Amino acid sequence: DLSFTEGRVDFQNVCFSYTAGKEILSEVSFTVMPGQTVALVGPSGSGKSTIVRLLFRFYDVQGGCILIDGQDISKVRQNSLRSYIGVVPQDTVLFNDNIRENIRYGRISASDQEVEEAAVAADIHHKILSLPDGYATEVGERGLKLSGGEKQRVAIARTILKSPRIILLDEATSALDSQTERNIQASLAKVCANHTTLVVAHRLSTIICSNQILVLQDGQIAERGRHEEL
Ligand code: ATP
Ligand code: MG
pLDDT tens digits along 141-198 = 666 778 888 888 899 899 989 989 999 999 876 666 777 777 767 777 777 777 899 9
pLDDT of residue 71: 94
Kindly state if the Cβ of 89 falls inside 6 Å of ligand 1: no
Kindly state if the Cβ of 201 falls inside 6 Å of ligand 1: no
Q: Whose CA is nearest to atom 27 of ligand 1?
A: 18
pLDDT tens digits along 62-86 = 999 999 999 999 999 988 999 899 9
Kindly state if the Cβ of 44 falls inside 6 Å of ligand 1: yes
Region 24-28: mean pLDDT is 97
Phi-psi region of 12 (alpha: psi -120 to 50; beta: other; left: phi over 0): beta
Kindly state if the Cβ of 18 falls inside 6 Å of ligand 1: yes
Between residues 227 and 223, which one has the greater pLDDT? 223
Q: Nearest ligand to the C-alpha of residue 44? A: 1
DSSP secondary structure code for residue 123 in this structure:
T
Kindly state if the Cβ of 24 falls inside 6 Å of ligand 1: yes
Q: Nearest ligand to the C-alpha of residue 42? A: 1
How far apart, in whole angstroms, are the C-alpha atoms of residue 15 and residue 219? 9
pLDDT of residue 150: 86
CA dihedral 25, 29, 30, 31 (to 10 degrees): 120
pLDDT tens digits along 90-142 = 888 888 899 999 999 978 899 999 999 999 988 899 999 999 899 999 987 66
Pocket test for ligand 1, best of 14, 46, 168 (most atoms within 8 A of CB): 46
* Ligand 2 ion: residues within 5 Å (CB): 49, 90
> How many other CB atoms sit within 10 Å of the CB of residue 56?
18
Instruction: Give kind and range of the element (H or E) at residue 114.
Output: helix 112-121
- Beta-carbon contacts of 188 under 8 Å, excluding residues fewer than 6 positions away, are 156, 169, 199, 206
Between residues 147 and 40, which one has the greater pLDDT? 40
Quick one: which of 53, 73, 52, 33 has its CA closest to 165? 33
- The pLDDT-based confidence of 27 (bands split at 50, 70, 90) is very high
Name the pTM for this structure: 0.90
What are the strands, taking DSSP E only, across 74-160?
A: 85-88
- Average pLDDT for the chain: 89
